[in-house]
Structure 1
């Protein structure tokens, strides 16, 4: 309807300006019949340009826009029209409408690829000169086939594609809490990048961007842990938020004393064998384990005690990996967070039962330390275990920015039930939060 009104206005303007302009060249002697009427199963498009080449380009732009409107305005997405028009004081907000059309044009939609100048059924143009200024321009019109049947087919194709993309997004949204291998993070980011190139409405586009950021943050939640299986054999693996995950890349392992180091994958873990013959009891002996994932280094030190006796027979509880801090709610405007859930990974290397009496954490962005007294918890598991704590109340976040090299400093007070000895172990670990 708007196109028909445009043609009427064009004709009226042509009559009004006839005295001021003259046609100096035309593509045909007679004006085609389709120029002044609506033609079933065709689009009639008219433009004005300074050259024929410019006119041809503008005509194809106009045809593309007309087809987008014809298809997209009939497609609903989550109960809302993709190309819904916004009424402002009884009129159409053309700026908002144009923005939506532009986004759909930039999306990788199959039906746009079929639009071609080769399909134009007929054209008519005339070169017009202004009598007063002698300036010239071209009035250019085209007849392009676009039937109702084709429109219905394109709408169905568009709806099927959109439903497929929504299903793909929802699957990735559910998968983020069920990651079993590090490579799944990279694959998900690749899929989300493609979805970002498809979604043209702000709501779903922002959802995709948000999910991409959540997947990227998974790399920050990776940590390395492990345990000694026997003399000369250490087993390590990757953790994601404290849960084991597989990784295809083999870690690089070095040592300040051990020799003949070899690394072998084993059911999602890595078994490291070594010879500790040159490790001295009076020195701090260790294996340095390093993964390279998504351009980041993940490192872990496994301390060798074999030079001074079997490591498994000693009392040794070591904090490892990353500390996870999750607030129940965040008020960014007031820089307030509420109820901090804390997850700490410990490695009970010797397997000796121990008691956890107290914990203390000092974070760069909190003005006061988080302290837990009189915990009185007993653990008997050998190897990796998770300690969870809840710091209730409101906390103020300082302006300090957390960098990639920020660590939580603190300590834990342990009790050896067998001897009654109390030991204070320092904590210095990287960490992640949900309020950045």
Structure 2
């Protein structure tokens, strides 16, 4: 009995002593407000302690932000849970943490997160306390902050809108990947996917974005050069990816010990490699063409036979066209000059010509008589043709055509060519 009385006396002495360990030395109001530690549908409260008043205020602002983030995330998670009935509890918690993290990341553009300030608080109360045992001071800061159900719904809607924007962008890029024709899409899309990969916090969408980026990078190494036609001085080709014709504004690197004046120009959705041959008989004469897409090299060798030019007369250089008209019948007159190079001393004639200009969708053709030339060297074929007046349909720097050459022995040869041209309009 005496021991019990002694214990009670000790407790009676200890409790007042414990209560006196901290002392309020300063406060913002004479009496603590009734809302301390209470939350309701229209507001919530947060409290923070820190060595200085400024630090306690900043911590409260951080806690307010986190409270709103968690509120938004928990509401979204509760909706997601309806679709994930078999998700384990730790999976739901993980989803909540992911949403909370992402709400915080995207919160810079959400009004309920970027406008947080003490000026919006419904109430503020603080105390400065002295800890006798440690002989130190600290502040405790309390904030009553408004956040109604309407505010919560608006914040959730803002987050979902941002989330949907990212998802729609991913779906757009996935769809465009199947139909694009410009190879610049690959580099641009791989770069555009980086912020989406950083944003997506769920495994499914993140994996989709990562997979699409990998497909873009892989596709850079799967581009092919497909030959279309070839003649001495001109090699026509196009680029293809997975069987689909594609284009690129990148110029390939051209190298050759057997050709000069190397250049690539656009032609009918493809390209033409033009060159002046300087080949050596008995050797493999070639041009190396190298593209680089997304760090991947695409190399192609163009082989040509320099003896091809010695077996026939062939057009070369630039075709000059003077367009006159049109007349009353909407037909224009074209005066056409085609440079020819002959590699032998014999006589030859040009009996038929067919020249097509893709840019105008026009053709100049017809039989010729009396167009005879003789001797090795350069000659010029000049003739006039009537062409329906048309407006340019597409940009092209090359025309294509066929000349029928008749040699001194009567043998006929059709010479096909692709050459640059210059079109001069008069009296338009």
Match in the other structure for 1:33: 34
* Distance in structure 2 (CA, Å) of the matches to 1:16 and 1:176: 75
* Distance in structure 1 (CA, Å) of the matches to 2:289 and 2:282: 22
Task: Give deviations 1:229-270, integer Å, cap 9, x for gaps.
Answer: 322111233222343211121223232121122221234322
Match in the other structure for 1:363: none
Match in the other structure for 1:143: 144
Matched, 1:87 2:89: yes
Match in the other structure for 1:244: 245
* Distance in structure 1 (CA, Å) of the matches to 2:282 and 2:147: 86
With over 3 angstroms needed to count, the CA separation of the structure-2 counterparts of 1:113 and 1:297, relative to structure 1, is farther
Deviation at 1:280, TM superposition (A): 0.8
Matched, 1:290 2:290: yes
Deviation at 1:93, TM superposition (A): 8.5
Task: Give deviations 1:318-344, integer Å, cap 9, x for gaps.
Answer: xxxxxxxxxxxxxxxxxxxxxxxxxxx
TM-score, reference length from structure 2: 0.59
With over 3 angstroms needed to count, the CA separation of the structure-2 counterparts of 1:51 and 1:28, relative to structure 1, is same
Moved more, 92-101 or 233-242: 92-101
* Distance in structure 1 (CA, Å) of the matches to 2:79 and 2:177: 23
With over 3 angstroms needed to count, the CA separation of the structure-2 counterparts of 1:95 and 1:184, relative to structure 1, is closer
* Distance in structure 2 (CA, Å) of the matches to 1:109 and 1:32: 32
Query: Please, which runs of 5 or more residues in structure 2 have no aligned partner?
Result: 1-15, 311-428
Contact 2:81-2:92 within 8 A present in 1 as well: no
| Structure whose alpha-carbon radius of gyration is higher | 2
Task: Give deviations 1:273-314, integer Å, cap 9, x for gaps.
Answer: 1111x2112222112212233334322211122x13379xxx
* Distance in structure 2 (CA, Å) of the matches to 1:83 and 1:46: 35
Deviation at 1:128, TM superposition (A): 2.3
Match in the other structure for 1:23: 24
Match in the other structure for 2:51: 50
* Distance in structure 1 (CA, Å) of the matches to 2:257 and 2:228: 18
CA-based RMSD of the aligned residues comes to 3.6
Matched, 1:309 2:311: no
Contact 2:65-2:113 within 8 A present in 1 as well: no
* Distance in structure 2 (CA, Å) of the matches to 1:174 and 1:186: 16
Contact 1:285-1:304 within 8 A present in 2 as well: yes
Task: Give deviations 1:71-128, integer Å, cap 9, x for gaps.
Answer: 233336995579999636xxx9877754542343224663265342254324222222
Equivalent residue runs for 1:315-330 within 5 Å: none
Contact 1:120-1:143 within 8 A present in 2 as well: no
Match in the other structure for 2:103: 104
* Distance in structure 2 (CA, Å) of the matches to 1:294 and 1:105: 34
Deviation at 1:136, TM superposition (A): 3.2
Query: Please, which runs of 5 or more residues in structure 1 have no aligned partner?
Result: 1-14, 312-436
Deviation at 1:140, TM superposition (A): 1.5
Deviation at 1:223, TM superposition (A): 3.1
Match in the other structure for 2:10: none
Contact 1:130-1:136 within 8 A present in 2 as well: yes
**SS of aligned partner of 1:308:** helix
With over 3 angstroms needed to count, the CA separation of the structure-2 counterparts of 1:63 and 1:158, relative to structure 1, is same
Contact 2:103-2:159 within 8 A present in 1 as well: no
By percentage of residues, which structure has more helix? 2
Equivalent residue runs for 1:28-427 within 5 Å: 28-38=29-39, 40-75=41-76, 79-80=80-81, 87=89, 97-98=96-97, 100-107=99-106, 110-111=109-110, 113-117=113-117, 119-121=119-121, 122-276=123-277, 278-305=278-305, 307-309=306-308
Task: Give deviations 1:386-436, integer Å, cap 9, x for gaps.
Answer: xxxxxxxxxxxxxxxxxxxxxxxxxxxxxxxxxxxxxxxxxxxxxxxxxxx
**SS of aligned partner of 2:251:** coil
Structure 1 runs (4+) deviating above 6 angstroms are 81-86, 92-96
With over 3 angstroms needed to count, the CA separation of the structure-2 counterparts of 1:79 and 1:93, relative to structure 1, is closer
